[in-house]
Amino acid sequence: MKCPRCGRELTVDSHRKIPLLMCYDCGYIEGRTSDADLTGKANFARMQELNLNEMASFLADGLGLDQDAVARWLESSN
């Protein structure tokens, strides 16, 4: 089944009592009403809007890395 928001393939989330179809790209979950703050953009599109410090914080928290090291790495790749 295709996602009504972004058109990608939906995945079955079986980690719940009742398995739901969800889209890992835009965050759509079957049966949930549309939230006002979600614009239907993919996660990659949201990440492109982050500035350097926000991106370093996001990556460091998510991967358990040192935020300063991630910031230096991001600055050196520009």
Q: Which among 24, 33, 43, 31 is positioned nearest to 10, based on CA atoms?
A: 24
DSSP state, 50? Answer: S
Please give the pLDDT value at position 14. Answer: 74
- pLDDT tens by residue, 53-76: 888 888 888 888 898 998 898 888
Reported pTM:
0.44
Gap between the Cα atoms of 4 and 31, Å rounded: 12
Judge contact between 60 and 67, C-beta under 8 A. yes
- pLDDT tens by residue, 18-60: 888 888 777 788 876 555 455 566 777 777 888 888 888 888 8
Please give the pLDDT value at position 34. Answer: 55
Please give the pLDDT value at position 37. Answer: 54
